[in-house]
Structure 1
Amino acid sequence: MEFKVESDRVRSDLAFGKLAISPSEKSGYRPYELFVSSLAGCSGSLLQTILQKKRQPYQRLEIKVSSVRNPDYANRIEQLSLTAFVHTKEAFTEQQAEKMADLVVKNCGMIQSIMQSIEVKFVVRMACLDSDRY
């Protein structure tokens, strides 16, 4: 990968398209947004694969992320909590959810890359489907 540093952003032309990175939301994606997005993307794709292999039907997956940052140390990220909501009509147990979450953490390269420096919590929750929306 190659990146070009400009006055207000860093740019790259990647396989999928152009990427602009900037501390200003008006000039590109913020580094924090890209960092969290990579974790959500990796873990979400992996959870989707796990659900398919377990033949657990679902209609939608959503991941919500919260973080704790330390303003005294360059606003570094100290904790990340990722909660995956599996919208399904077929229930699964809390034990099954914990096993899926453990598999995601164990096999997600992005999460494994940061485990030594950031406390990461990944949880799978079943979400009831709203029959009016489907």
Structure 2
Amino acid sequence: MKFIMQEQGFSTETEFGSLQISGNEKYGFRPYQLLVSSIAVCSGGVLRKVLEKKRIEVRDITVDADVTRNNEGAQEIQKVHLHFVINAPNANDEQIKKSLEVTRKNCSMVQSVQESIHITESFELV
């Protein structure tokens, strides 16, 4: 990826389109938002695939990410708690627990940051 400096941040072109990145939300996505989004969406996507491989019908998954940042210094992300709200009529709690374990092991974004960001998960079936 190539990032080009703009007046208020950086931009890059992807196959999907242009991505604007800035420390100021008025001009683009903030870097921490992109990092948290990567963790949450990777986890949600892998969870969906795991459930589908188990032949569990998935109607919807919502992921809420609760982020804890260090209030001092660089305000780095310290913790991310992912809460999955899953609409899967034929699933039970045990299946979801086991599927989340597999998800954690197979999500490249979680694996990339696991040594520096504490990531936890919870879920509810609806």
Both proteins in one fold, TM over 0.5: yes
> How many pairs were matched up?
126
Q: Does 1:90 align with 2:90?
A: yes
Q: Residue 106 of structure 2 aligns with which residue?
A: 107
1-structure distance, mates of 2:125, 2:50? 15
Q: Secondary structure at the match of 2:47?
A: helix
Q: Deviations over 1:58-98 (max 9, x none)?
A: 211100000111111311111110111111322413x2221
C-alpha RMSD of matched pairs (Å): 1.2
What is the TM-score with the length of structure 1 in the denominator? Answer: 0.88
Q: What one-letter code is carried by the residue in structure 1 that aligns with 2:24?
A: S
2-structure distance, mates of 1:32, 1:19? 14
Q: Residue 74 of structure 2 aligns with which residue?
A: 74
Q: Does 1:121 align with 2:115?
A: no
What is the TM-score with the length of structure 2 in the denominator? Answer: 0.93
Q: What one-letter code is carried by the residue in structure 1 that aligns with 2:74?
A: A
Structure whose alpha-carbon radius of gyration is higher: 1
- State whether residues 101 and 124 of structure 1, in contact with CA within 8 Å, keep that contact through their aligned partners in structure 2: no
* Identity %, equivalent residues: 33
